[in-house]
Structure 1
Amino acid sequence: MAIFFHILGHNIIPIFTLIVLGFILSKKFDLDIFSLSKLNFYLLVPAFIFVNLYTTAISLDMIKVLFCAIFILVSNDIIGRIIAKIRNYDVGLTNAFKNSIMFNNSGNIGLSLAVLVFSSAPFVVDGKTPYLTEAITAQIIILVFQNITTNTLGFYNAGKANLKAKDSIIKVLSMPSIYAIPAAFILKSIDFDFTETIIWPALEYLKNALVPIVLITLGVQLSKTKFDLKNTDVHISAFTRLIIGPILATLYIHILGFTGIVAQTVFIAYSVPTAVNTALIAVECDSCQDFASQAVMVSTLFSAVTLTLSIYVARVMFPI
């Protein structure tokens, strides 16, 4: 029970506090959701991706984690298509549903959870955290991959509801995030320390602002959302993300031969709820906004319980 309340107090309650603050502010001042989404996608997200890519050392051993992320994304896409076919979703809901199960909250929940789990007992040895670096590196790879695909494929999926394929691609190409990726790798490859430039502190400020602003923005969107707690499609999304997600992760962990810390990290990383950005993308593309917002909220709410179980299961299944 101790770890349950630890996760609840250090991860879930702070997240919901920011969402509620956004909700209250929007009800009082009628904040503009479209301006907030522009702030996120044109400043905060690209800065977040660039800083993380530039500062994270990625070893060849961790390339397998990237392949795992790709395999799980493709598998979720297939599952989403099958469920959409069975449920007779239209194009808009099909792609909103796919986004809700393909893209998870690997940033403000996944990364902070990795730090919490692997810097506390039983992973502390003589006052040190020997497993933390390995766990964080694996989590960062998943995080960056999720951010890249959310802000490219996620936008393409959402745009297909109201745009032609060509216009959807143009929408993706207009997102600064995809240009932050090659920029980070180019700068990493040259003999120059970009962190010493005068622009670096500004980029770090933007990166650090992503989590609170995204959550506040979600609160604003929720204040404008019509809720239907009996929406079966939302509950199917949450079940697929929180239950089927870890099962898929287990499959690929065994296929790729992960063990110990990396296996635990991957398992926990794919047990987190739907990415907040999927709701913001729905707003930006004006596509199934209510479903996307509810999918984020319901999966985040249920994750308070399922994440606790996932951490326990990870330790039992993949001991160090």
Structure 2
Amino acid sequence: MNVFLFILKNNIIPIFALVALGFLISKKYDLNVNTLSKLIFYIFTPSFIFVYIYNAEIHMEMLKITLIAAIILVINMLFATLVSKIRGYSVGMKNAFANSIMFYNSANIGIPLITLVFSSEPFVINGETPYLNTAIAAQLMILMFQNLSVHTIGFINAARAKNHWKDSVAKVFRMPIIYSITLAFIFKFSNYDLTRFPLWPSLNYAANALVAVNLIALGVQLAKTRFRLTNKDVYLSCLIRLVIGPILAITLVYLFQLKGIIAQVAMISSSVPTAVNTALIAVEYDNFPDFASQTVMISTLLSAVSLAFVIYFARVLFPAF
């Protein structure tokens, strides 16, 4: 119980305090979530990814965790097909449901959560956080895969199988994240020490801002979501996303023989709530936007409890030392 309370106090409450702050400020001042999204999309996320890929050690385990993320996505797609047949969903609802369980908040919640978990006890040694870069690098691999998937498969799903795949693919190549990843790997394997470059501190400042701005932006988005408690399909989606997700991850972690920090990241990342992007895509294509928005909001609220359990069991099942 002491460990559970420690996780709740040091990992979960700090995250949802900032989400709540964004929610309350938006209610009072009606903040523009599109402006915050552009700052995150064009400045903070590319800077964060660039800095941490450049500093991280990339090895075979990182490829395994990306493969696990891909397998979980495929299994969730199959889950959506099965549930749709049982529940008698229309094509549009089937695709909205699929998006809600396939795509999770690996940025707004995943990055801050992994950062907090692996920069607090018991992962602090002599005032240092030796496991943080590895943990974030693993999370970034998942984030990259999720971003590419949601901007291709997610858009195609929301478009109800209309011929929008060309636009979706084109949008992927307009994403700053793609070029941030590419440049980070180029500099990483070059002989030049980028930390001596005059703009390196600026990149660090922008990277360090991502966690707080992401969480506040999530609160702003939730403040604009209509809240209802009667939609059973929403809770079914949340069950698969928050409970089945980590169970799938545990199975695959054992299958691929991951251990320690990487295994914990795989399990924790798989249990975060539905991605905000699924609601934005649903609104853009008018594909059950109420269902999508409610799923994001309710899964986010429920994850405040479920994530504490997942972090606890991740430490028990896959000890780092």
Alignment TM-score, normalising by the size of structure 1: 0.81
Q: Which residue of 2 aligns with 1:268?
A: 268
The answer to whether residue 80 in structure 2 is matched with residue 80 in structure 1 is yes
SS at match of 1:72: helix
Q: Which residue of 1 aligns with 2:58?
A: 58
Amino acid at match of 1:51: V
Alignment check: 8 A CA contact 2:135 2:265 kept: yes
Amino acid at match of 1:59: H
Q: Which residue of 1 aligns with 2:195?
A: 195
Amino acid at match of 2:309: L
Q: Which moved further from structure 2: 185-194 or 109-118?
A: 109-118
SS at match of 2:181: helix
Q: Which residue of 1 aligns with 2:105?
A: 105
The CA deviation at 1:58 is: 0.3
SS at match of 1:253: helix
Alignment check: 8 A CA contact 1:100 1:275 kept: yes
Amino acid at match of 1:168: S
Alignment check: 8 A CA contact 1:103 1:278 kept: yes
Structure 1 residues without counterparts, runs of 5 or longer: none
SS at match of 2:227: coil
**1:257-307: CA deviations, max 9, x gaps?**
224444333223322223344445556666544433332332222223322
After TM superposition, the structure 1 = structure 2 runs for residues 1-320 of structure 1, keeping only pairs within 5 Å, are: 1-107=1-107, 109-114=109-114, 135-151=135-151, 153-158=153-158, 164-282=164-282, 288-318=288-318
**1:132-168: CA deviations, max 9, x gaps?**
6655554443344334444554455445688723233
Alignment TM-score, normalising by the size of structure 2: 0.80
Looking at structure 2, the residues matched to 38 and 127 of structure 1 have their Cα atoms a distance apart, in angstroms, of 35
Q: Which moved further from structure 2: 291-300 or 160-169?
A: 160-169
**1:110-146: CA deviations, max 9, x gaps?**
4554455566666778998776665555444334433
CA 1:43–1:54 in structure 2 vs 1: closer, same or farther (change >3 Å)?
A: same
When the two chains are superposed, the root-mean-square deviation of aligned CA atoms in Å is 3.4
CA 1:131–1:83 in structure 2 vs 1: closer, same or farther (change >3 Å)?
A: same
Q: Which moved further from structure 2: 285-294 or 203-212?
A: 285-294
Provide the aligned length of Structure 1 versus Structure 2.
320
Alignment check: 8 A CA contact 1:160 1:168 kept: no
Alignment check: 8 A CA contact 2:8 2:308 kept: no
Amino acid at match of 1:24: L
Amino acid at match of 2:216: I
Alignment check: 8 A CA contact 1:11 1:109 kept: no
Amino acid at match of 2:80: G
Looking at structure 1, the residues matched to 202 and 91 of structure 2 have their Cα atoms a distance apart, in angstroms, of 40
Identical aligned residues as a percent:
55
Looking at structure 1, the residues matched to 128 and 199 of structure 2 have their Cα atoms a distance apart, in angstroms, of 34
